[in-house]
Structure 1
Amino acid sequence: MTVCVNCGVEVLDEKGEEKREVYDEKLYKSTGIIKLIECTQCKDYVDKYIEYEGCLVLLDLALQHPPAYRHSLINQEHRTLIYKMAFLTLIVDSYCRWAMDSADRQFFEREFEFYAKFGLAVSSLLVNISICLLIVSFYQLFKMSSVAVNYPRLFDGLLLSFCTRFLQLLALLWGTESTQFLWWFVDFIYLLTSFNVLRILSGFGEIQSAAVAVVSHLALHLVDFNGHLLL
């Protein structure tokens, strides 16, 4: 499915069938020129991001622009890249947890604890995603939402939002007593990204998406707190 990144309306061809490309395919085949098509709903280009460099798309994702999320999660296939980024973020998340608890120890002295922290990071992530998916499924089951949800795509989107925690590495490297707000800022960015992903892919309104994002993040921090006490 291809949608307009601006308004979210599905793009159809002249026959009313699903259109896969966001440019004039006939013109491209005959001349090699890419001409972006316009959305019949909002009259803007369906997906301007196909002409953007990857770093510019990433910048708009960081700035929380919904069109960039629709482009990356719906119109393009980035599943493998998202999985790789999520795995790297899990390693960074685990290292940050381990380093903060091991500041007064030798680097290799508590190797086993690093693996425990990795397990805790995975558990926190799974709890966060599971709660989001369960709430969305509940709404779908009881017909409280009329929008069909693509759960694999929503899962990928929630993994993408988790990747914002990679910024914890900067908070760890630059962290001092006067910059402790960096940790809260990274968590806020994670919360805001989860909100945008839910709003775009779940069919929820802003209030519902915010509520789900907050509940799932509270559960994540609860797992973190209990895991910290156990470890």
Structure 2
Amino acid sequence: MTAAKGKEYICINCTSVTRAIYKKSDGNFIKLLDCDICGQPVDRYVECEKSIIFMDLVLQDMAAYRHILFNADDFTPQFYTKLALSLMLSEAYVRWVDFAENLSVGNGIRNNEVYLYIMCLVAASEIGMFGIIIWLYSTLKYWNKGSIQIYNACLLGQCGRLANIAAIIWYQSSSLIFQVLMLAFVLVSSIQSIRAALNIGRVESCLIITTAFVIGYSAARILEPLLINTYQYYYGV
């Protein structure tokens, strides 16, 4: 992969900057280039299927995060936009179902899509606040870091939330064990993705992720009853 004009890649092993990942030989054959600093292939995932890359993401391989965030051309802005919408809708649907189960029968909650829209706003505020805190921290301390990579890293770290949909299908959404495991996976994934995006240590990443999560969760807990009570008050629900 020869870099386009103004495009730079990084070595997924040592994070040094390079202008190319591979070079083409006769025909469609490619040869991976070695890093001038560490001597290892700049990006071994160029030859891998996406299924292998995502498997390594699940295993929290730092190199896989670096490949997606900095080197992969097939993870376009449209991919991250769709991922953001999927995260918002899946989280909102789970909150909507949980909210419906806590209400009395016959209130028509399942036929009232307004509550789903409210939950979409709540989910968007939680994920958005999470990203804003990380972006503010990176801007203040690492002013030269790209905002796009930070935005993408925040979304990649939240991918575990999509498991909520499968949990509803398998009737596990209310399981405390599942929720704890999913939250742990999301936190670990977020720590790894932010480490890859900012090239920082584990302790620093843990602190910023924990702070961002607490602030985002608190904002959602405050906003949810406020929006629901406002809607119910003005429309007499």
Q: TM-score range by the shorter chain?
A: 0.7 to 0.9
CA contact (8 A) 1:128 1:219 kept: yes
CA contact (8 A) 2:167 2:173 kept: no
**Between 125-134 and 155-164, the greater mean CA deviation after superposition:** 155-164
Aligned match for 1:9, one of 16, 19, 25: 16
CA contact (8 A) 2:22 2:31 kept: yes
CA distance in structure 1 between the aligned counterparts of 2:189 and 2:156, rounded to whole angstroms: 8
C-alpha RMSD of the superposition: 2.0
Aligned match for 1:96, one of 82, 94, 98: 94
Higher strand share: 2
Q: Counterpart amino acid of 1:120?
A: V
CA distance in structure 1 between the aligned counterparts of 2:96 and 2:69, rounded to whole angstroms: 32
CA contact (8 A) 1:175 1:182 kept: no
CA contact (8 A) 1:83 1:159 kept: no
CA distance in structure 2 between the aligned counterparts of 1:197 and 1:64, rounded to whole angstroms: 9
Within 5 Å, which residues of 2 pair with 1:16-31? 19-20=19-20, 22-25=21-24, 28=25, 30-31=26-27
CA distance in structure 1 between the aligned counterparts of 2:172 and 2:91, rounded to whole angstroms: 18
Normalized against structure 1, the TM-score is what? 0.85
Deviations 1:111-144 (A, max 9, x none): 1111000010111111100001111112136xxx
Unaligned runs of 5+ in 2: 1-7, 229-237
- TM-superposed deviation, 1:106: 5.0
- Please tell me whether residue 48 in structure 1 is matched to residue 47 in structure 2: no
Normalized against structure 2, the TM-score is what? 0.83
Unaligned runs of 5+ in 1: 12-18, 142-147
Q: Counterpart amino acid of 2:123?
A: A
SS in 2 for 1:121: helix
CA distance in structure 2 between the aligned counterparts of 1:107 and 1:202, rounded to whole angstroms: 43
| Structure-2 residue corresponding to 1:118 | 120
CA contact (8 A) 1:6 1:46 kept: yes
CA contact (8 A) 1:86 1:162 kept: no
